[in-house]
A = this chain, B = another copy of it.
Amino acid sequence: MAKGSATIYDVAEVACVSIATVSRVLNDSANVRADTRDRVHAAIKQLHFVPSTAARSLSGGRRGAIGLAYPLDEERTVATPSREDDASVLYTDAIIRGASWQASQLGYSLFACAVRIGGNNDAHPLHQLSSAVDGIILTDRVVNNVKAMRIAKRMHAVHLSGSGSSRFGGTIRVDNSGGISALVRHLADVHGTRNFGFVGGIPDSPDATARFDAVVSSVTEVGGRLDPENVLVGDFSLARAEAAIEERLRHDTSLPDVFVCANDQMALGVVRVLRDNGHHVPDKILVTGFDDIPVAGQIYPTLTTVTQPSFELGVAAVNMVIGLLDGEVAVGAIEILPTTLVVRGSCGCPIERSPR
């Protein structure tokens, strides 16, 4: 970096000690006499000295920074995202905000870096990032990347992932199954639902599969059924979900009691298509979402869904990386954050007026 900034040698000279001593003060190792330490600190302040992260990391020390890699939107996203379609962006942003906040609290810096998930170029941002930080946080879709695996094997990493776990680092996930289970129980207990349908997300997304699995087991648990023709495949997008439900309607009009959707965007599409085809929600059929995006409480019918603690996810991830770094968290640790059922109108519950 910086041309002409002070080095450890300059500090050593001013403080009349060796660079080794300066280094000790910097890493506040024990065994430096108090007045020596003070002298060094004074010199540091005087010279506005800041240790070079590059050199520090080359020689094996800590960088004091942790990285967070999230998927880069391939297309050139518009400046002000439409509110419905950009829930995933908001979700990621919330995680980043949480992570930044917690890192800052703990005296670390948080570098967030968007990585092109398909990319295979050699100067991969993931590598750049990993060599600039002490530990790394990988969000859902980034995890399934060969490069990511290699990196995780080599440095402390925590995966923010819906399923599976990392043999090489820690894993934090949101309690998809608990949320789904609460949702299904609510549907069964309060609304007497028995015949379930499901609109899934991208098959290779761990969150998507976790939610699907949870639906399967919860439905079994409450003694309901989930017929194969009522399991639709989406990709988390509103458009794809609309297409899927339209397709479903063409084939057979005897519908399940409810369509549980793997996220809110898809639920919005499903509601719209159903209504356009005369299946009023929630009078004729129920629909639920997942995520609790901002619009979920604003549309008609308000959407029954499950909230994820995205900010807390970021906080927890930072805590775990640092724990890993300090050896206080064991490799392979898994932490699961609670989700909360948010009951609104689309499951047939009476609709509250929104506060404003």
Q: How far is the CA of A72 from the CA of B72 in the complex (A)?
A: 22
* Distance from A31 Cβ to chain B, minimum over Cβ atoms (Å): 21
Contacts of A122 in B (CB 8 A): 44, 50
For the complex, what is the distance from the CA of A226 to the CA of B3, rounded to whole Å? 48
Query: CB distance A109 to B93 under 8 Å?
Result: no
Residues of B within 8 A of A101 (CB): 72-73, 76-77, 114
A97 at the interface (CB under 8 A from B): yes
CB distance from A290 to the nearest CB of B (A): 13
- On whether the beta carbons of A100 and B114 are closer than 8 Å, the reply is yes
Complex contact A154–B2 (CB within 8 A): yes
Check: A42 CB closer than 8 A to any chain B CB.
no
CA distance A97 to B5 in the complex (A): 31
Q: Which of A79, A81, A128 is packed against the most chain B CB atoms within 10 Å? A: A79
Check if A30 is an interface residue, CB within 8 A of chain B. Answer: no
Scan A42-76; emit 1 where CB is below 8 A from any B CB, else 0: 00100010101111011000011101000011001
Whether B1 contacts A154 by the Cβ 8 Å rule is: yes
Please name the residue on chain B nearest to A298 by beta carbon.
B83
User: Which residues of B sit under 8 angstroms from A44, Cβ to Cβ?
Assistant: 122
**CA distance in complex: A125, B94 (Å):** 20
Q: Does A254 contact B (CB under 8 A)?
A: no
Instruction: Tell me which residues across on chain B come within 8 A of A90, comparing CB atoms.
Output: 80-81
Question: How far apart are A145's CB and chain B's nearest CB, in angstroms?
Answer: 14
Q: Which residues of B contact A1 (CB under 8 A)?
A: 57, 130-131, 133, 154-155
A222 within 8 Å of B (CB atoms)? no
- Residues 104-142 of chain A, each 1 if its beta carbon lies under 8 Å from chain B, else 0: 100101111110100101111101111111000000000
Q: Are B294 and A72 in contact (CB under 8 A)?
A: no
Contact at A65–B128, with CB atoms within 8 Å? Answer: yes
User: Which of A50, A124, A155 has the most B CB atoms < 10 Å from its CB?
Assistant: A50
A205 contacts B by Cβ under 8 Å? no
From A1, A90, A154, A294, residue with most partner B Cβ within 10 Å = A1
On whether the beta carbons of A50 and B131 are closer than 8 Å, the reply is yes
| Interface flag for A8 (CB, 8 Å) | no
In the bound complex, what is the Cα–Cα distance between A105 and B101 (angstroms)?
29
Among B4, B110, B154, contact of A4 (Cβ-Cβ < 8 Å)? B154
A294 vs chain B, min Cβ distance (A): 5
- Tell whether A97 pairs with B77 under 8 Å between CB atoms, given A2-B154, A64-B128, A104-B114: yes
Stretch of A211-219, A281-289, A303-311 lying at the B interface: A303-311
Q: Mark each residue of chain A from 78 to 102: 1 if its CB lies under 8 Å from any CB of chain B, else 0.
A: 1111110000011001101110110
Chain A interface (Cβ < 8 Å from any Cβ of B): 1-5, 44, 48, 50, 52-55, 57-58, 63-65, 67, 72-73, 76-83, 89-90, 93-94, 96-98, 100-101, 104, 107, 109-114, 116, 119, 121-125, 127-133, 150-151, 154-155, 292-294, 307-312
Question: Which 6 pairs of residues, A with B, have the shortest CB-CB distance?
Answer: A109-B125, A2-B154, A53-B131, A100-B114, A132-B132, A111-B111
- A selection of 12 A-B contacts at a CB cut-off of 8 Å is A1-B133, A3-B154, A53-B131, A63-B128, A72-B101, A76-B101, A77-B101, A80-B292, A89-B93, A96-B112, A97-B114, A109-B123
